[in-house]
Amino acid sequence: MSEVISTSDARPWTDPNAVPFLQIKNVTKKFGAFTSVYDVSLDIYKGEIFCLLGGSGCGKSTLLRMLSGFEGLTSGQIIIDGQDQAGIPPYNRPTNMMFQTYALFPHMTVEKNIAYGLKRDGLPRAEIATRVTDILSLVQMEGFATRKPHQLSGGQRQRVALARSLVKKPKLLLLDEPLGALDKKLREETQFELIKIQESLGVTFVVVTHDQEEAMTLSSRIGVMTAGEIVQVGTPREIYEYPRNRFVADFIGSVNIFEGRIAEDGESHVIVASPEAGLDIYVPHSISGVIGQKVAVAVRPEKVVISKDDLGDLRNKLIGTVDEIAYMGDASVYQIRLDNGKRVRVTQTNLTRSEESTLNYGDRVNLGWDGSAGVVVTS
Amino acid sequence: MSSLPLGIRIGAILGRMGLRGRTLVIAIPTVWLLIFFLIPFLVVAKISFSVAAIARPPYLPIVEWVDGFFRINLNFGNYLFLLEDPLYVAAYLGSVKIAGISTLIALVIGYPMAYLIARSEPDRRNLLLMLVVLPFWTSFLLRVYAWIGFLKSNGVINNFLMSIGIIDEPLVMLQTDFAVYVGIVYTYLPFMILPLYANLVKLDEAYLEASADLGARPITTFFTVTMPLSLSGIIAGCMLVFIPAVGEFVIPALLGGPDTLMIGQVLWNEFFSNRDWPIASAVAIVMLFVLVIPIMLLRWAQKEKPNET
Ligand SMILES: Nc1ncnc2c1ncn2[C@@H]1O[C@H](COP(=O)(O)OP(=O)(O)OP(=O)(O)O)[C@@H](O)[C@H]1O
Ligand SMILES: [Mg+2]
């Protein structure tokens, strides 16, 4: 998983004096008796690309729609650039949104769709024309200016929708699943373009996605949502390496979870006694808890090493049998069955081009992970 | 074979005759139009080229067999007469004017109603649509008569206005063009609302949101997005009001004044009072063309559109 940080020293959320550009304060949205977004509070700073990541139906779109003014708040407050947005209609907000369904005007050509917002601002014709041309070349749609939306493929429509939201260079850009319909290569290119746009225009982005890899690549920070609530906010690295709970650990990348109880709470570590792993797991810098408290330890598959040989002085060591091997090209994924039946997922980078893997089905192997690899998560 | 259901057996028989599925579906309305539209049209067209006579039927035949000659007597005089007498041209223009203005009024009243119904809660829509078509449950004639009661000088409206002191003398509303507009708009409003509703209910709210998001106020959104996207509904509604309104004769006869000139009344008079069937037929045929030509132009214009891109 790659991680692009736009400017290495731009971490305004660590600065207690920084003023957030977008403040979402205790926002709740109910549809009848159903709570779609519950008590969400977020501070997003100028120039961030903030990703809202979460499964289908967790309230991501609803939150964006409240930011752009299409849904009222049941309670809470939204402040953009110091201005409370309560009562401000969508057409007066400093935001532009790329809709999940694109919502391209079917009776207008690509060109007219993109020019629509600029016309509303009363820009001179010549400037509109150049900006439309520029943005079309940015999304690689130069040849399609005079087509109507129904004459485009899904991915092309998505690019037009993206262009239409970008062209006004709003202070706050809201993208709802902006790259879902693009092929991998174009998606990566566009992600890169988005980061470039962000750097050159200083626009603040809130991007909704359920693709964790995209969130990792794009964002300065990620907010993980489930069932209408934000469960964790952090940089991609923080979210990946220190997931706060099981849901986050599971949602971002794959993970091995070992249930257990806290057996020892030391100065710089905890020991979790895990019958599931058949091991007392050593975990550093973790949350402190009471002895005997039920917790789980999350270990990323790529942090587990396997070998037929002895693993030396690794902190956490186990023995198991190779159950499954999946060759993925750059890496291989192994499923190792422990003697108590628990299966452990291990990813190993394929460093050499050997015809045969050194490990085979049914092999007895040693596996283990470094003391720093595990992280305690609550359920 | 005999064990098969009747429907399938009929289907098989029709199939052997080369009539299956699609063909059949198209064939039924085609036959319907042929019997109930084309043949009457040809009959009327024939009469319009004949000479009036005191006979039964009241015109001379246009094909004759006389002394071994097969003679076709085509009389264009009826059509020439329509041009000669300014009454007819005035009546045509009057009809088109009254129908056109009524259509516009119906559009202005009907569009917001259709829009509101389409934007209301789904389970309330049916109720509102019911209310729109409810008047159809009473006779059209009765409803027009009822307007007389409203509009006449000692009618409901005048009595009410005088009782609250807004006017001292009754307004003359009945037997004016105003009453005709009221009658036509009232009668044909559902024909405007229904196609508009059918169109607007399909309009995706996301387009309106996108427009607002890009900085358009509601009024701009209406003219740049809502209206263009509902154009086919507007055209359908206007056609459904304009076409029958041009030929309308009951409403001008009951509510209109002596100077309200509409071609439907002229036709009625020629046919029933003057018993001049050929002239009446010529009036009808010309009216048909007055109506058909704009429709053809419209269809042609709509066909051209997709090619513009
Ligand atoms: N207008 C509405 N009325 C009632 N419920 C709604 C409405 N809009 C959204 N919801 C509900 O709110 C929840 C969140 O919806 P939302 O569209 O925000 O999900 P999402 O996170 O964007 O999902 P996806 O990734 O599938 O787009 C869903 O359970 C949805 O059914
Ligand atoms: Mg969504």
- B61 with B179, same domain: the answer is no
Residue A4 lies inside a defined structural domain of this protein: no
Considering only CA atoms, which of B206, B229, B220 is closest in space to residue A99? B206
- Among the partner-chain residues B214, B229, B309, the one whose CB lies closest to the CB of A117 is B214
Given CA atoms A278, A283, A287, A289 in this order, what sign does their dihedral have? positive
- A266 with A226, same domain: the answer is no
- What are the beta bridge partners of residue A332? A327, A348
Smallest CA separation from ligand 1 atom 5, residue: A31
Distance CA B16, CA B8 (A): 12
- B11 with B140, same domain: the answer is no
- A341 with A265, same domain: the answer is yes
Domain count, chain B: 2
Considering only CA atoms, which of A110, A109, A129, A104 is closest in space to residue A118? A129
How many beta-carbon pairs under 8 angstroms link A with B? 60
Query: How many residues does this entry show for chain B?
Result: 309
| CATH of residue B209 | 1.10.3720.10
Out of A27, A36, A230, mutate this one to test ligand 1's pocket (max ligand atoms within 8 Å of CB): namely A36
Which structural domain, as residue segments, surrounds residue A207?
A: 12-94+170-246
A372 neighbors A284 (Cβ within 8 angstroms): yes
Helix segments in A121-211, DSSP class H? 125-138, 154-166, 184-201
- B160 with B260, same domain: the answer is yes
Residue B1 lies inside a defined structural domain of this protein: no
Distance CA B136, CA A131 (A): 55
Residue A119 lies inside a defined structural domain of this protein: no
| CATH of residue A330 | 2.40.50.140
- A17 with A77, same domain: the answer is yes
* pLDDT of chain A, 379 residues: tens digit per residue: 444 444 445 688 888 888 899 999 999 999 999 999 999 999 999 989 999 998 889 999 999 999 999 999 999 999 999 999 999 999 999 999 999 899 999 999 999 999 999 999 999 999 999 999 999 988 889 999 999 999 998 888 988 999 999 999 899 999 998 888 778 888 888 888 788 878 877 889 999 988 888 888 888 999 999 999 999 999 999 898 888 888 888 888 888 888 888 888 777 788 888 888 778 888 886 666 778 888 888 888 888 888 887 777 778 888 888 888 888 888 888 888 888 888 889 888 877 766 666 778 888 888 888 878 888 887 6
CA-based nearest distance A172→chain B, Å: 12
Q: Is A146 on the interface with B (CB under 8 A)?
A: yes
Distance from residue A129's CA to the centre of ligand 2 (Å): 32
Distance CA B90, CA B106 (A): 24
Domain count, chain A: 2
Which structural domain, as residue segments, surrounds residue B295?
A: 77-303
- B58 with B168, same domain: the answer is no
- A271 with A339, same domain: the answer is yes
In single-letter form, the type of residue at position B117 comes to I
Distance from residue A35's CA to the centre of ligand 1 (Å): 10
Distance CA B71, CA B148 (A): 52
**Final residue belonging to a domain, choices A222, A246, A270:** A246
H/E run at residue A67: helix A60-68
Within 10 Å of residue A166's Cβ, how many Cβ atoms?
A: 26
Q: Is A106 on the interface with B (CB under 8 A)?
A: yes
Distance CA A324, CA A252 (A): 23
ipTM over 0.95: no
A36 neighbors A59 (Cβ within 8 angstroms): yes
Measured CA angle at A59 (ends A18, A77), to 5 deg: 45
